[in-house]
Chain A
């Protein structure tokens, strides 16, 4: 082809690389720091509170101190998303100069670039709320003058939505290259965006209205994805988190990583590289991202196989309680949490059984270790690079279970809880069937699994209960995958949920003694000060900071 077409192709590829340009200290692909540690799901972990200190401040909602030199975190995440956005915009600029006649794939590639731009803006939006919205037609001067409050909260959602709408209308249903976004990925992402948009916030980040029209859009968009997209749940829940199952039937859109690909170390995900169990004999470092006591408690089930909605947190479950004849639990716990004496990452041979001795700093953070984002140490997808691990396992941005539960959420908030029940049950049924991999070598289960579907009577299926069930389902299904904090903010219950959580959790771990979530501030991060400085006050700092 002509050089310009090659250039456009190359720039689109670079734009994909942009969203996968994973940065251990400025994460953009894995949200374990921002979504999991900041929620009631997990602690920072690692070697004491001062290890990766900024993450400790995120966990403790302590972001108003006059710190000068951040080792890691927000400023880099902000920068990395805008790097990704500029790659998409570079591609769009070149594509704009071509015609459809010159380049048959022009519209498709434009749609992909806009999808990628939409993704980065979306992620920035859930982290920072008010962000400068950057498109390819802006000059350097215009970009510097772009205000982060140019749009209202709702207008900003709609601006970002335009990219997904364009993508949805111009992408093919199936792409020859599985790593590219397709029509249904765009549709699912638009549904996700509309769901966030539906919960309308005031200037103090409080949810003041739930927009029914937006919810109906969510229902319709999800319906299209469900009926036409060709997706289905992975037969075993664990396969979503296991090497060899990338781009499976459940993966709607994923960030692709690769190894032995001709690059020096591989295009690996490093953002989870701090999170391998520290004391694992196969080598490990550095023991970050430890599940909270609260989360582990939440996996316990009642005698009817449903969550213990009201009493779950009255106990402190430990591995000693979670045994074949111990408390009944949702099987997803053995996919999510490393527990002493349980196979780690589906490996039931000697040396791979998780042990308390693998935990780095149990005096501070307890004995649980996150598992979903890790692989067994001998995985060919792993690269030990310095003290850390990189992994070629993809990170799913949207998996099909999310589409089901988003539609369920919209139905419930629209007052149609009965429409939501089969969707939730689909997810629970798959969870119930996902115990094949978690077992010991002799076939016995390490835990006492008990999980049932909502039959309409074991929990009175009214809107309120359905909402509780849906929210619980999201928590367990996506535990430690990090949407939790953003879900809480979307639902408008972050302050109450997290302060309740802290009140109890600090009696278990005194490092949380000073942690307090401030409503009207801590729902969002502060705009990095250096960005405000570099644009000479184009940006207004977020409320409360």
Chain B
């Protein structure tokens, strides 16, 4: 072997061989590869070299040690010298081959050892190895950190290529779990380590890693929509614990934030690990803010490629379509037929209500009506400029959306210093016309160490800037996605002279052309910028004692521009244009100081952690408003250009949190694990008497697989029992929740004020201000006063969650079949609620109080099987299932009516997300059935029969029951990964069962709406001629109140979705070598390819329960992953 490039070294040491090796590694960049139990490591060595050749040094220190070494690229392989003469093996051969990873990339540094000996070698830079003196019956072991060990019997072969798979169990892997890292093998709480590789490309197509996690983490429930900014509607860890904010806490590189957008804005390429802390014993170290679970994210640093620069590039192009989500709605003529039927059913001349839209040719006989034809009137509202249309509004407002996402990571470093830079750019052109989203992210992570690693400094910083223009509302605040469903088809998109058409004349709703609303709002923009990161220093004054101080920043700025141009759309107009500019500024600074000490004492290992943390949050916002812009161009809409009626609002708020915490970890003989945690938090949000809260936890783990009686069975590769109890808190109330507050409201309508609402739409038409025109002058400055907005509660205290978690991790058959099961029960007490109060108390008398208790029980199960069939083919199948059932167990009597239920059946014993309503018991076929039924207001043939649940002969509010809950009883997933030669295939699907949901399409398909369009289901409706229908007779007056909450509209909403299918091809190593690349992979991917759903659910997708949101798209992507 050539030693020519090994260089010079100075070395003066008198210590163990281990120390010497470390010094050489630190000074040269070479790495020693040898078994950890090699006796040579304890050997004492005394050397003193000045600028000596390394090969000379090596020759000296190995002299007479019984060990020899070999330099292969950056590695120095150390093996024990065998006495060649000792035993003459009958046949010895030299085995050669190549070791690659699952993607076909060569793996350098893999240890290749003959089983039962210490004899071996390591692979070179290209993954090649050559090992002589191997018996033909010997068995080779291939091992590499983070990879599953492979054991291959020679059976006479001399050319053995091996593919090593990543160690998914990763028992030696270390994970960040809260102010420290821990070996995965030592975890005792319910902590899910997310499989990152399979989600990387999925998160690229949406730009949001959280969306990619949907269905992949048992116990993590996510709801989403097709909005181009990929924001999530709901993120729940282990269900709904509280009656308020259920968002988890995020810890990103040690810095806490409750803002989900920080995690959602991370570039796929910059994340190294995501852990979900699900139970209280795991998360209690985060105390007051951890009751909804904790998501810990660590971003990459550049240190894993020593002395080299590594470049990774991911690119993805996606095409998105919502066509599979569209609702089938009526065309112009059919809508006329339906309106005719409904009017005639009601005994009303259809021409009286809709004569301006349709010409009805019928016999005029209400008892035996016959419709000859319906023809739309030629012009909308009689305006010859607006010829009648036959518009498919969904088709008019949607287009194919494109998403381009590029993500570049450059990293490099030496043993002492490393740096990583990541830039990402995503652009989503939006499926809803005139919407779009773009985001640029930049990250820099760096670290360096001094004084033989005794002092470390580091920096993690992420900068994100995004722009979004989303779905708009019409003049009456109706969102355009909903209007795309409901708008009357007779209104054309455009008038004859090319303007946007709108409702005109009688018979139309006061809603606007949704395409026009998108168009006139195209200049609206929300710009979000945030800076998130930390700087830290770590000092190790003595061995095993580490002090760390971290200063973290979570800064967010939102700038929202809302331009409301003047316009006329049919009979609806905005006469005065206006501009609102909203700015907000949120700064959260976290200062964390920890000390960590580890102590080995015989077979016992202790870890001690002590820390203090201070968090200060400050928020302020400002809004400027102006009216009267003389020119309607985008540039002209700046506040100063508005000529009249300006206004401004602004607020400032903040909170402080101060915490002390400690933790002791204990490990006895790798068999018994235990930990105790205590945290004390003080929050400015609570009353002075109850400002501090204690959050203790204890866990216990027993690694049964380390016990000899289990080892002897030789079945389990891993078996661990876990138990934990813990307490966590919740402080998600307003910053001044304990105080009584007054505020001046010079002039305000309810929609401009927090916490005052009757109905979102009509809140614009409700004055709640404190100014009054005492002088009776009609204009000019008003006298103003102030009003109470919140009642004081000085006794306000923490909401606490106590949880017991029991878990079992297991692995069979040498790690091929692995899984885990967790069961938990938790109780949340003193839940912070702001219940409605009797109006007689007056204005602003709502107060936060600790008022409710919830219980939640559930389990999570995960199982995966991985098999390397042969060198070319590998597969893995992984499944998971989870269940939770939460219920309110205590709620003050006075506030129960604010939740589902009635005076007899309250929400106590049920989840607040339960649906409470009537049971539809078919359709009255005739008068006799009406007579036979209980007394029901609105009963008539063709009407829905409401079940008389309490059999008292009258249908009233007592005839309701709990129909189900909005959250599923079971969530499950299935993932299949296949690798064949250079091809890889990944299939992922997930579903829910036991979910009752509102079916918005039934509302439009089975019921006529006088002014909204409806679906073809209305033609199946009951008529005297169609008496067996299960769809009620069409009526415009609905005297039976058939759209009340009932089993008719809330049905089984279970589904299974094939969420992701991915096919990849990785170029063979040989080609990449010529291209000087490490990896080049192309892939194609499809999302939401198909799904199955309950038949009861008429709408296309049970995940789409709100028609006012952009539907979840079907997405096709192609992409490339490159690294070199």
The chain A residues found within 8 Å of chain B, CB to CB, are 9-18, 20-26, 47-51, 53, 56, 62, 64-69, 71-72, 76, 78-79, 82-83, 85-87, 89-90, 132, 134, 140, 143-144, 146, 177-180, 246-247, 254, 256-268, 270, 273, 278-279, 283-286, 357, 359-364, 381, 383-388, 390, 392, 394, 510-511, 513-514, 529-531, 533-536, 538
> Which chain A positions have C-beta within 8 A of B784?
10, 13-14
Given A143-B841, A278-B571, A363-B353, CB of A22 within 8 Å of CB of B770 = no
In the assembly, what is the distance between CA of A46 and CA of B681, in Å?
A: 57
In the assembly, what is the distance between CA of A256 and CA of B351, in Å?
A: 43
Looking at B352, B477, B843, B1011, which has the most chain A CB atoms within 10 Å of its CB?
Answer: B843
Asked whether B767 lies within 8 Å of A270 as measured between CB atoms, the reply is yes
Asked whether B766 lies within 8 Å of A25 as measured between CB atoms, the reply is yes
Given A67-B1041, A535-B894, CB of A140 within 8 Å of CB of B845 = yes
Q: Which one of A25, A178, A530 contacts B776 once the chains associate, using CB atoms below 8 Å? A: A178
- Closest approach, in angstroms, between the C-beta of A355 and any C-beta of chain B? 12
- Closest approach, in angstroms, between the C-beta of A257 and any C-beta of chain B? 7
Q: Is B1038 part of the contact surface with A, judged by Cβ < 8 Å?
A: yes
> Which chain A positions have C-beta within 8 A of B746?
262-263
Q: Is B51 part of the contact surface with A, judged by Cβ < 8 Å?
A: no
A-contacting residues, B505-521, CB 8 Å: 505-507, 509-510
- Closest approach, in angstroms, between the C-beta of A146 and any C-beta of chain B? 7
In the assembly, what is the distance between CA of A314 and CA of B605, in Å?
A: 102
Q: Which one of B476, B782, B842 contacts A82 once the chains associate, using CB atoms below 8 Å? A: B842
In the assembly, what is the distance between CA of A14 and CA of B644, in Å?
A: 26
Asked whether B773 lies within 8 Å of A261 as measured between CB atoms, the reply is yes
Q: Which one of B748, B750, B766, B785 contacts A12 once the chains associate, using CB atoms below 8 Å? A: B785
Asked whether B506 lies within 8 Å of A360 as measured between CB atoms, the reply is yes
- Closest approach, in angstroms, between the C-beta of B714 and any C-beta of chain A? 63
> Which chain B positions have C-beta within 8 A of A76?
758
Asked whether B776 lies within 8 Å of A177 as measured between CB atoms, the reply is yes
Q: Which one of A12, A364, A385 contacts B352 once the chains associate, using CB atoms below 8 Å? A: A364
Asked whether A9 lies within 8 Å of B785 as measured between CB atoms, the reply is yes
Q: Is B1036 part of the contact surface with A, judged by Cβ < 8 Å?
A: yes
* B937 to chain A: closest residue by CB: A65
In the assembly, what is the distance between CA of A324 and CA of B1011, in Å?
A: 39
Q: Is B574 part of the contact surface with A, judged by Cβ < 8 Å?
A: yes
> Which chain A positions have C-beta within 8 A of B779?
258-261, 392
Asked whether B571 lies within 8 Å of A13 as measured between CB atoms, the reply is no
Asked whether A363 lies within 8 Å of B768 as measured between CB atoms, the reply is no
- Closest approach, in angstroms, between the C-beta of B618 and any C-beta of chain A? 26
In the assembly, what is the distance between CA of A246 and CA of B507, in Å?
A: 36
Given A25-B762, A536-B894, CB of A260 within 8 Å of CB of B644 = yes
In the assembly, what is the distance between CA of A48 and CA of B769, in Å?
A: 33
Given A87-B787, A261-B780, CB of A534 within 8 Å of CB of B897 = yes
In the assembly, what is the distance between CA of A263 and CA of B764, in Å?
A: 13
A-contacting residues, B695-750, CB 8 Å: 744, 746-750
Given A261-B747, A263-B747, CB of A26 within 8 Å of CB of B766 = yes
> Which chain A positions have C-beta within 8 A of B844?
86
Q: Which one of B571, B765, B778 contacts A392 once the chains associate, using CB atoms below 8 Å? A: B778
Looking at A51, A283, A392, which has the most chain B CB atoms within 10 Å of its CB?
Answer: A283
Q: Is B572 part of the contact surface with A, judged by Cβ < 8 Å?
A: yes
> Which chain A positions have C-beta within 8 A of B780?
258, 260-262
Asked whether B348 lies within 8 Å of A132 as measured between CB atoms, the reply is no
In the assembly, what is the distance between CA of A263 and CA of B476, in Å?
A: 20
Asked whether A47 lies within 8 Å of B509 as measured between CB atoms, the reply is yes
Task: Please name the 6 residue pairs, one residue from A and one from B, whose CB atoms are nearest each other, closest first.
Answer: A363-B352, A86-B842, A263-B747, A14-B785, A10-B785, A24-B765
> Which chain B positions have C-beta within 8 A of A386?
475-477, 764-765
- Closest approach, in angstroms, between the C-beta of B1038 and any C-beta of chain A? 6
Asked whether A363 lies within 8 Å of B785 as measured between CB atoms, the reply is no
* B645 to chain A: closest residue by CB: A260
- Closest approach, in angstroms, between the C-beta of B1017 and any C-beta of chain A? 19
> Which chain A positions have C-beta within 8 A of B2?
none
Asked whether B475 lies within 8 Å of A264 as measured between CB atoms, the reply is no
Asked whether B839 lies within 8 Å of A283 as measured between CB atoms, the reply is no
In the assembly, what is the distance between CA of A495 and CA of B865, in Å?
A: 79
In the assembly, what is the distance between CA of A264 and CA of B568, in Å?
A: 21
> Which chain B positions have C-beta within 8 A of A262?
645, 647, 746-747, 780-782
Q: Is B928 part of the contact surface with A, judged by Cβ < 8 Å?
A: no
Q: Is B838 part of the contact surface with A, judged by Cβ < 8 Å?
A: yes
Contact-size category for B: 35 or more
Q: Which one of B505, B625, B752, B782 contacts A258 once the chains associate, using CB atoms below 8 Å? A: B782
Given A262-B647, A384-B575, CB of A257 within 8 Å of CB of B894 = no
Asked whether A284 lies within 8 Å of B571 as measured between CB atoms, the reply is yes
Q: Is B88 part of the contact surface with A, judged by Cβ < 8 Å?
A: no
Asked whether B772 lies within 8 Å of A17 as measured between CB atoms, the reply is yes
Q: Is B771 part of the contact surface with A, judged by Cβ < 8 Å?
A: yes
> Which chain B positions have C-beta within 8 A of A362?
352, 506
25 residue pairs from A and B, CB less than 8 Å apart: A10-B744, A20-B772, A21-B769, A25-B759, A48-B1010, A64-B937, A65-B937, A132-B840, A140-B791, A143-B838, A177-B774, A179-B775, A254-B776, A256-B774, A261-B747, A262-B780, A263-B771, A283-B568, A283-B572, A285-B571, A361-B353, A362-B506, A363-B355, A513-B347, A531-B840
Asked whether B768 lies within 8 Å of A21 as measured between CB atoms, the reply is yes
In the assembly, what is the distance between CA of A12 and CA of B749, in Å?
A: 19
> Which chain A positions have C-beta within 8 A of B1011?
47-48, 51
In the assembly, what is the distance between CA of A20 and CA of B842, in Å?
A: 15
* B756 to chain A: closest residue by CB: A83
Given A177-B776, A258-B779, CB of A273 within 8 Å of CB of B769 = no
- Closest approach, in angstroms, between the C-beta of A74 and any C-beta of chain B? 11
- Closest approach, in angstroms, between the C-beta of B311 and any C-beta of chain A? 53
Q: Which one of B568, B571, B842 contacts A83 once the chains associate, using CB atoms below 8 Å? A: B842
In the assembly, what is the distance between CA of A529 and CA of B820, in Å?
A: 50
- Closest approach, in angstroms, between the C-beta of A167 and any C-beta of chain B? 16
> Which chain A positions have C-beta within 8 A of B839?
78-79, 82-83, 531, 534
Given A48-B1036, A265-B749, CB of A66 within 8 Å of CB of B957 = yes
In the assembly, what is the distance between CA of A359 and CA of B772, in Å?
A: 35
In the assembly, what is the distance between CA of A16 and CA of B770, in Å?
A: 8
Q: Which one of A72, A286, A529 contacts B510 once the chains associate, using CB atoms below 8 Å? A: A286
In the complex, per-residue mask of B891-918: 1 if CB is within 8 Å of any chain A CB, else 0 = 0011111000001000000000000010
> Which chain B positions have C-beta within 8 A of A392?
778-779
- Closest approach, in angstroms, between the C-beta of A515 and any C-beta of chain B? 11
Asked whether A258 lies within 8 Å of B777 as measured between CB atoms, the reply is yes
In the assembly, what is the distance between CA of A260 and CA of B773, in Å?
A: 11
> Which chain A positions have C-beta within 8 A of B576?
383-384
Asked whether B841 lies within 8 Å of A279 as measured between CB atoms, the reply is no
> Which chain A positions have C-beta within 8 A of B477?
386
Given A24-B765, A246-B778, A533-B896, CB of A10 within 8 Å of CB of B748 = no
* A66 to chain B: closest residue by CB: B957
Asked whether A17 lies within 8 Å of B842 as measured between CB atoms, the reply is no
Known: A263-B782, A357-B505, A531-B839. 6 other contacts (CB 8 A): A17-B772, A48-B1011, A363-B355, A387-B510, A511-B1037, A534-B838
Asked whether B769 lies within 8 Å of A263 as measured between CB atoms, the reply is yes
- Closest approach, in angstroms, between the C-beta of A223 and any C-beta of chain B? 27
Q: Is B49 part of the contact surface with A, judged by Cβ < 8 Å?
A: no
Given A179-B775, A361-B506, A363-B348, CB of A13 within 8 Å of CB of B766 = no
Asked whether B957 lies within 8 Å of A68 as measured between CB atoms, the reply is yes
Asked whether A510 lies within 8 Å of B843 as measured between CB atoms, the reply is no
Q: Which one of A256, A385, A510, A514 contacts B348 once the chains associate, using CB atoms below 8 Å? A: A510
In the assembly, what is the distance between CA of A56 and CA of B1039, in Å?
A: 10
Asked whether A273 lies within 8 Å of B893 as measured between CB atoms, the reply is no
> Which chain B positions have C-beta within 8 A of A513?
347
> Which chain A positions have C-beta within 8 A of B768?
21
Asked whether A381 lies within 8 Å of B765 as measured between CB atoms, the reply is no
Asked whether A87 lies within 8 Å of B842 as measured between CB atoms, the reply is yes
> Which chain A positions have C-beta within 8 A of B791?
140
* B625 to chain A: closest residue by CB: A264
Asked whether A25 lies within 8 Å of B758 as measured between CB atoms, the reply is yes
Asked whether B776 lies within 8 Å of A246 as measured between CB atoms, the reply is yes
